[in-house]
Structure 1
């Protein structure tokens, strides 16, 4: 199944998909609309205005009986009507011939050729009538009417006399053309039609904008919004972490910047996680993973664990990503001894588990990789350790390998712990996310929630709400929190 077929699991594009695509790529859609409108405007307003003048002739049948003064019978009239109908069909081509147009050029003194004039002259026969409409387009409205009238007159002459003469002997034409409507100089141009062109441009721009947005969305291989993730993973979004340098370093933001917006993001995530955890055995064990690497799962794990510890809970943070240990680096602690040594009984829990920041915050680094990680993490010793720490701590946070690398997180979650899936906006590959979703669905594992990383930082609102000022520096200067008082308080 290719990328296009995987969209919506092969169910095609829905109206909701179009709406989401336009919402995500609204700038692209608007730019496309503007480009189309500019192009239509440029085409419309650079065209030379053309004026259309129309003259009209009526074709009647002149029978031989009528010519001699006798009355015509019904058969002859019917035959004459059929004859006129067949003749009228030739007039649109007849008016473009030299025999009709050259006299027009000569009479009006036009500086043009028969071929050029023919391009601006048209004739038509309205359905069910004996009428012939002759229309002429020209930049000059007066000249358009003059040409239309002259063409009508010369067509009349050709049909009623000239084409039926034989070496000077005039034969009465069975078709009689009479000018019933003179052409007059039009007051307004017939083209370009500004209103019509603008309407066409607007509709075309909107349709093309939606199509470009949809194509751009289909070709985008990374998730950009929460909805990109929730359409694949059926779980609530419990929190979002913004893209900020505050998360970079060897100290969680709650410790380094306790009054920052980023610290509040972590606290909000902690609170939401507490609310959604079920009251079941091992539900206080939270397994953190992501679909692919570099999505910020370790950063989220250490910050979430710190938030639980700040709240007074007894917390254990375990680095189970033994293939690529990151927790010790993120916290700036020694990680040479840890989980791998504890499970293999080479050290005791007293030697492997470290205290960090507060007495109620403990960390178990990954340690050095000594055997196959899958065998190690699927061992009975590991399961026993999870059950033991679940009873000894209020919350246990386990940072595991990305699902692309290994399904360790799924193995843990299958035994009872809750799974928290991290997605990095602009980083997570849609293909990997879909693969992760299918694997979790196959194993009947429902994530307790989703956490988004690398979101765009929103500007603080000042309309009566608290907002954050400058960050505190490394020397511990307090961060300033400003509050804009309401108008009522000002009056008081």
Structure 2
């Protein structure tokens, strides 16, 4: 992954990353709150060797003390030292249990033993450390060898008496929260990268590029109200979605779709159901009609037809009625709106849709309507469940594949394109539907909103001017 990939992951999964970070911090805070407070008291005992007048004797004594201090440090946590401490302070613990809270360390290149005692009671920790230091001095005196004069060769002295600790040792709130933050960041980014690597759904143009070499020729932005207001070209012609359909129309013109052959028709399909192919077909047909062309929309989805419902036209007669010879094309063509936009609904759902669409009657129908219309848009069933769209793609200029963002996976889109390739059908391009607004679309939205706000402001000023004039 490159840097831009990590930035994309951050933008895509920032909510989950923040949630993981907050959860880690909250967990750290909870652990801090339930962790009992402990305090550490310390005392230091210095080990020295008596006697010696010459420099060599003093050096030998110092080396001896350094060697002996390691042994005495281990003695500090044995019952020899700790049992008298328990007896003197009246503690209700065993020497082994008390040894768990007592540590003896030796600073580098010194003859000093530092005794540290950890306890939940700061006063008690200081008492244990002080008594343990005193008892270690006594034990060293008992264990020390004697010199030629019968005196102990090694002496121990408390150089740092134990004091009551004022600050607790654990929990360390600031450190715990910092660790929680760091762990949260690592886990948050880790789960985001893992989800990104495992996520095979189509959401962006980069995802489309992983499935096929065909380019995305339009991005239709997501609109939560699309299902309730599917005819955006009629209902909200200045919206972001409407402009996206116009951009799709323009890109198709640049591709010279309908003019590259004598066929003036193309299929709009998808990989699976629910990707928005029918809405795309309808709004694209309306956008093309806006440019002054005569457009015919044919609902060739003979499995789950929806064009008649969306356009509020008669759907009981239509394509199937013509194909079985019960009506002519002129009988089933229905005008929509005031422009040169006409529709042929699906008609009744037949038991053999694939056979009807692959029949000579369908070819004759397309040949005839090509003579009377500039562009024919055919809404066909999804590619993966059935072969209808693949068959129709061989009779037309090609197929537009609508890819619903978050609705399909990379393998599904790849299989859909492969289905067209297997029948030598031409894939004109990919329409990324329900895409999140960003990049160029975000800039357009900002630009469009400014225009709308200015237009509203002008209308408000004009209204106030007229109202003022009428009042006078």
- The answer to whether structure 1 residue 197 and structure 2 residue 176 are counterparts is yes
Residue 393 of structure 1 is matched in structure 2 by 373
Q: Distance in 1 between matches of 2:55 and 2:19?
A: 75
Q: Distance in 1 between matches of 2:159 and 2:459?
A: 82
Q: TM-score, normalised by structure 1?
A: 0.72
Q: Distance in 2 between matches of 1:68 and 1:245?
A: 99
Distance 1:306 1:463, change over 3 A: closer
Q: What is the 5 A alignment of 1:67-466? A: 80=64, 84=68, 88=70, 91-92=73-74, 94-108=75-89, 114-126=95-107, 130-141=111-122, 143-162=124-143, 176-213=155-192, 232=211, 235-236=215-216, 238-240=218-220, 242-245=222-225, 247-248=227-228, 252-255=231-234, 257-258=235-236, 261=239, 265-277=241-253, 278-279=255-256, 281-282=260-261, 285-340=265-320, 342=322, 347-358=327-338, 360-368=340-348, 372-379=352-359, 382=362, 386=366, 389-390=369-370, 392-413=372-393, 417-425=397-405, 427-428=407-408, 432-433=412-413, 435-436=415-416, 439=419, 446-453=427-434, 465-466=450-451
Q: Distance in 2 between matches of 1:394 and 1:155?
A: 105
Contact preservation (8 Å) 1:52, 1:136: yes
Residue 456 of structure 2 is matched in structure 1 by 482
Query: Deviation at 1:315?
Result: 0.5
Q: Distance in 1 between matches of 2:345 and 2:426?
A: 26
State the Cα deviation string for residues 134-177 of structure 1 (Å, max 9, x = none).
11223454554443233223223223315879xxxx98766554
Query: Deviation at 1:123?
Result: 1.4
Structure 2 unpaired stretches of 5+: 465-472
Distance 1:198 1:252, change over 3 A: closer
* SS state at 2:292 partner: coil
Query: Deviation at 1:399?
Result: 0.6
* SS state at 2:22 partner: helix
Contact preservation (8 Å) 1:24, 1:225: no
Residue 467 of structure 2 is matched in structure 1 by none
Query: Deviation at 1:54?
Result: 2.7
Q: Distance in 2 between matches of 1:343 and 1:42?
A: 72
Distance 1:149 1:391, change over 3 A: farther
Residue 28 of structure 2 is matched in structure 1 by 40
Contact preservation (8 Å) 2:295, 2:376: yes
* SS state at 2:456 partner: strand
State the Cα deviation string for residues 290-316 of structure 1 (Å, max 9, x = none).
221122211221222123223322101
Contact preservation (8 Å) 1:419, 1:449: no
Distance 1:440 1:105, change over 3 A: farther
Query: Deviation at 1:189?
Result: 2.9
Q: Distance in 2 between matches of 1:81 and 1:409?
A: 94
* SS state at 1:358 partner: coil
Q: Distance in 1 between matches of 2:397 and 2:380?
A: 13
Query: Deviation at 1:180?
Result: 4.5
State the Cα deviation string for residues 405-460 of structure 1 (Å, max 9, x = none).
2244345446763433323445446663454356567779555231413879x9x9
- RMSD between superposed Cα atoms in Å: 4.6
Contact preservation (8 Å) 1:266, 1:304: no
* SS state at 2:82 partner: helix
Contact preservation (8 Å) 1:325, 1:366: yes
Contact preservation (8 Å) 1:466, 1:484: no
Q: Distance in 1 between matches of 2:71 and 2:143?
A: 19
Distance 1:67 1:111, change over 3 A: farther
Residue 18 of structure 2 is matched in structure 1 by 30
Query: Deviation at 1:214?
Result: 5.2
Distance 1:316 1:44, change over 3 A: same
Q: Distance in 1 between matches of 2:421 and 2:130?
A: 79
Q: Distance in 1 between matches of 2:371 and 2:351?
A: 28
More helix by share: 2
Query: Deviation at 1:34?
Result: 1.6
Contact preservation (8 Å) 1:284, 1:418: no
Q: Match for 2:42 among 51, 54, 66?
A: 54
Q: Distance in 1 between matches of 2:458 and 2:88?
A: 85
Q: Distance in 1 between matches of 2:179 and 2:322?
A: 72
Contact preservation (8 Å) 1:247, 1:253: no
Query: Deviation at 1:100?
Result: 0.8
Q: Distance in 2 between matches of 1:95 and 1:445?
A: 87
Query: Deviation at 1:269?
Result: 1.2
